[in-house]
Amino acid sequence: MNLIKKWKQISAVQFLLSVMLVGLVSCNEDSSTNTNSDAQSQHPSLILTQQGVKDIRANLGSIPIFDKTLAANKVEIDAEIENGFDVPIPKDYSGGYTHATHKRNYILMQKAGVLYQILDDEKYAKFVKDMLFQYAKMYPTLPIHPKPRSYARGKLFWQCLNDSNWLVYTSQAYDCIYDYLSEEERTTLETDLFKPYADFISKENPQFFNRVHNHSTWGNVAVGMIALAMEDDSLLQTALYGLKDVNLDASLKDNDGGFINQDDQKIGYFANLDEPFSPDGYYTEGPYYQRYAMYPFLIFAQALQNKKPDLKVLEYKEGVLLKGVNALLNLSDADGDFFLLNDAQKGMSYYNSSLISAVDIAYHFGGNNPELLSIAEKQDEVTLDDAGLAVAIGIKEGKTKPFVKKSIELSDGANGDEGAVGILRSGDLELVHKYTAHGLSHGHYDKLSFALFEDGKEVVQDYGMARYVNVEQKGGGNYLKENTTWAKQSIAHNTLVQNEQSHFQGKYDIGSKHHSESYIFSVNTDSVQVSSAKEENAYPGTKLHRTMVSIKETDLENPYVLDIMRVESSTENQYDLPFYYLGQVIQTSFDYSKSDVPQILGSANGYQHLYNEAISVADGANAKLTWLLDNKFYSYTAVTSHNDEIILARIGANDPAFNLRSEPTMIIRKRNTKEAVFVAAIESHGTYNPVSELAVNAYSHIKDVQLSYNDSNYTAVTIEDTKGGVQLFIIANNDNSKTKKHTLTINSTSHFWEGPYTLIKIK
């Protein structure tokens, strides 16, 4: 634990350094463009500055990644100008034509605005202007969007969220062509379009605007960006600090079931920085939404930095925005795909455009961390602004260093004391252990769950969300009902389920009051890394304690994961521990009988979506499952008790529209039990080559796993491998002091160690 603190101290020092650097940068900028209000009222001044434009123009042709992005944007926008544009009457949900077109339009305007500044060619300004005037003509005529599903319906789009997206981008375009427009033109646009637009998403939709939620962030930033572009200070105050004197019904909920009006509701941009971000930069909804939220947070921060440097927004909460970029990059697998935590669609990655701007802004305003350049190189694109220029020059000058992702614990909660995500990295394996707070309305009921990745491929999966974003045929591209009935439920995750009920009864108002507790996160040696956490509220009267250990033994090729889930309850319960392996069953150590026809596993709480395909009654020996995924062999070796049931199940029951993926799981079930310890080892041990048809190390290297000791104070597990090695892992269950000395006698042998756990090589 000291190490963690040390790490945090180092981070703090780094942060102070970076603040100083930011200060220097700010000073430089102050001296050149931003010293007086005149300078600050120049345009462009949001993401581009006048000095930045000069520098870009001076460097063009000699900054490959920037030149390439610019050329690609030019080709795209030139073609669009050629083709003409459409500003259709709003009609569709996401995925439909009018939705997609308005979304395209704001991106095109933003890009065209930037091209105008950089290339100084009026055709780009004209394109933006023409489109803006079409919007200005249509907007005053628009009723509320006809699609009724949102708690905050927009005008251009079915929800204010998308209206806000539009304004965030369009403000940048407006800033870029500000000087190209006549004063009269500006007045028309501001009067007919921007001001009423900003009012609509704020004053007319306080239930959307006045929250701590990614929706509100977009709303706040939309208003803030246009306020900066129009230099409307009153509007800027609304953006930064929320709408004052609004009373909302305390029982209001959003479409995801999240409460809109909390006690002591904090509001505005800064409030949205305070609450969902932990001091480590983890955003409580998880990386999928953090990715989405980072764009408005950072783009506005960049604009504020340029236009209102005195606010020192990037220093806010000890530089939480810049830490957020670091956290987000660490929440991705080897391919840059984000880990699945809470509602999240698979395949979202740091190649998303919002991460391109996040990385560039973090580099430019965050002390020029050369590791960020390696991410930018992979992204192979930069933002066409001052930040992107800085990155392009950094890369050109050969400053790039690899971004090394290490094991890391990222705290959750505004103060960092509401659980955490623990990520253990060893070899090609990345294990994500979730013991966070609920994650607002996008949270899933999966305390102490985990997922395992190998080399960028998910091996033991988190299902993610039940949604096909922007695929109109699937529920308009919105959340599907199976997101609630399946994806959010505990049984859909790799965690313990008691009596076929989800954690917190699957109720947001209960779940959002609690969080798990980090118990140990210790990653100082590569040979043994531990992430251990407790959850005592998911089921009243029941205590859960899960310890996940990554062990790298010298005589085994790959590291393996040891999973110890302890449960103690005052009553007898049924405990299910699912294991969502992905791939094809190769072999099991246990006999099972496969049903002729699969039965539905249960009636509610997600169980109604599982087919029971085969069942086995354990004999007390290890239950081993070997499976093949993407030409790799994996094994799960679980300790069982006599009469444990092993259920081989598959997702897909009660799924009338084939919304769910047909994927397997293995569930270990203990009935009528008060206390239990589920122990298992998870390995990646072999490979298959379909071209040479060679299977290498197709068999598990774990010979035996045993629970050697368990009481309220200590739990010990013995792992024997096929090379003859024997290891004993002991954890102290109630004392995580790094300096406490322990003694434990197991089978007449006494073991001594210091700190909350030990791994002893017996053979």
If one asks whether residue 699 binds its own copies (CB under 8 A), the answer comes out as: yes
Stretch of 267-275, 368-376, 542-550, 651-659 contacting its own copies, by CB under 8 A: 651-659
Of 465 and 538, which has the nearer Cβ to its own copies? 465
Stretch of 564-572, 684-692, 706-714, 729-737 contacting its own copies, by CB under 8 A: 684-692
Q: Report which residue type is found at 163.
A: D
For the chain, state the CA radius of gyration.
Answer: 27
Say which residues have a Cβ less than 8 Å from residue 411's Cβ, sequence separation at least 6. 278, 279, 280, 282, 417, 418, 419, 420, 518
Q: Which of 468, 479, 580, 581 binds its own copies (CB under 8 A)?
A: 468
Is 198 strand, coil or helix?
A: helix
Q: Which of 39, 81, 100, 617 binds its own copies (CB under 8 A)?
A: 100
Closest approach of its own copies to the CB of residue 593, in Å: 8
Stretch of 212-220, 249-257, 561-569, 648-656 contacting its own copies, by CB under 8 A: 648-656
Of 246 and 615, which has the nearer Cβ to its own copies? 615
Closest approach of its own copies to the CB of residue 626, in Å: 7
If one asks whether residue 352 binds its own copies (CB under 8 A), the answer comes out as: yes
Q: Which two tokens stand for residue 455?
A: 């080399």
Instruction: Give the DSSP H or E segment for 649.
Output: strand 642-651
Q: Which of 141, 234, 525, 692 binds its own copies (CB under 8 A)?
A: 692
Q: Which of 59, 470, 706, 722 binds its own copies (CB under 8 A)?
A: 470
If one asks whether residue 693 binds its own copies (CB under 8 A), the answer comes out as: yes
From residue 662 to residue 681, what is the string marking binding to its own copies with x (rule CB under 8 A)? Answer: x-x-----------------
Report strand pairing: 702-710 vs 714-721.
antiparallel
If one asks whether residue 469 binds its own copies (CB under 8 A), the answer comes out as: yes
Q: Which of 162, 626, 684, 715 binds its own copies (CB under 8 A)?
A: 626
If one asks whether residue 695 binds its own copies (CB under 8 A), the answer comes out as: yes
Alpha helices in 202-315 (DSSP H): 206-209, 214-230, 233-241, 269-274, 287-307
Say which residues have a Cβ less than 8 Å from residue 78's Cβ, sequence separation at least 6. none
Residue listed under structure tokens 């006045």 = 210
DSSP string, 382-410: --SSHHHHHHHHHHHTT---------EEE
Of 2 and 353, which has the nearer Cβ to its own copies? 353
If one asks whether residue 195 binds its own copies (CB under 8 A), the answer comes out as: no
Stretch of 117-125, 176-184, 465-473, 736-744 contacting its own copies, by CB under 8 A: 465-473
Closest approach of its own copies to the CB of residue 197, in Å: 24
Q: Which of 358, 420, 491, 628 binds its own copies (CB under 8 A)?
A: 628
Q: Are 444 and 493 in contact (CB under 8 A)?
A: yes
Neighbours of 13 (CB within 10 A): 10
**Total count of residues recorded for the chain:** 763
Known catalytic residue at 289: yes
If one asks whether residue 570 binds its own copies (CB under 8 A), the answer comes out as: no
Say which residues have a Cβ less than 8 Å from residue 24's Cβ, sequence separation at least 6. none
Closest approach of its own copies to the CB of residue 691, in Å: 5
Q: Which of 85, 139, 351, 753 binds its own copies (CB under 8 A)?
A: 351
Cα(648)–Cα(671) distance, integer angstroms: 17
Residue listed under structure tokens 């209960």 = 510
Q: Which of 23, 61, 64, 347 binds its own copies (CB under 8 A)?
A: 347
Stretch of 27-35, 156-164, 505-513, 687-695 contacting its own copies, by CB under 8 A: 687-695
Calculate helix-pair angle for 353-365, 287-307, nearest 10 degrees: 50
If one asks whether residue 166 binds its own copies (CB under 8 A), the answer comes out as: no
Q: Report which residue type is found at 228.
A: L
If one asks whether residue 615 binds its own copies (CB under 8 A), the answer comes out as: no
Stretch of 147-155, 214-222, 350-358, 491-499 contacting its own copies, by CB under 8 A: 350-358
Q: Looking at 106, 180, 289, 607, which residue is catalytic?
A: 289
Is 49 strand, coil or helix?
A: coil
Q: Looking at 215, 433, 442, 701, which residue is catalytic?
A: 442
Of 184 and 693, which has the nearer Cβ to its own copies? 693
Distances in Å between the alpha carbon of 606 and those of 439, 502, 505?
A: 20, 8, 12
Closest approach of its own copies to the CB of residue 354, in Å: 10
What is residue 478's DSSP assignment?
Answer: S
Known catalytic residue at 116: no
Say which residues have a Cβ less than 8 Å from residue 532's Cβ, sequence separation at least 6. 518, 519, 520, 521, 545, 546, 547, 548, 731, 736, 756, 757
Q: Which of 37, 182, 234, 473 binds its own copies (CB under 8 A)?
A: 473
Residue listed under structure tokens 């083709």 = 83
Q: Binders of its own copies among 580-599, rule CB under 8 A?
A: 584-587, 593-594, 596-599
Neighbours of 402 (CB within 10 A): 11
Cα(587)–Cα(699) distance, integer angstroms: 9
Stretch of 267-275, 303-311, 533-541, 626-634 contacting its own copies, by CB under 8 A: 626-634
Q: Which of 7, 151, 688, 753 binds its own copies (CB under 8 A)?
A: 688
Is 502 strand, coil or helix?
A: coil
Of 318 and 335, which has the nearer Cβ to its own copies? 335
DSSP string, 667-711: EEEEEEEEEEEEEEEEEEEEEEETTTTEEES-S-SEEEEEEEEES
If one asks whether residue 656 binds its own copies (CB under 8 A), the answer comes out as: yes
Q: Report which residue type is found at 523.
A: V
Closest approach of its own copies to the CB of residue 594, in Å: 5
Neighbours of 641 (CB within 10 A): 15
Q: Are 648 and 666 in contact (CB under 8 A)?
A: yes
First to last CA, the chain: 28
If one asks whether residue 658 binds its own copies (CB under 8 A), the answer comes out as: yes
Residues in contact with its own copies by CB under 8 A are 95, 100, 345-349, 351-353, 468-474, 477, 584-587, 593-594, 596-600, 611, 613-614, 626, 628, 631, 648, 650, 652-658, 661-662, 664, 688, 690-695, 698-699
Active site residues: 289, 442
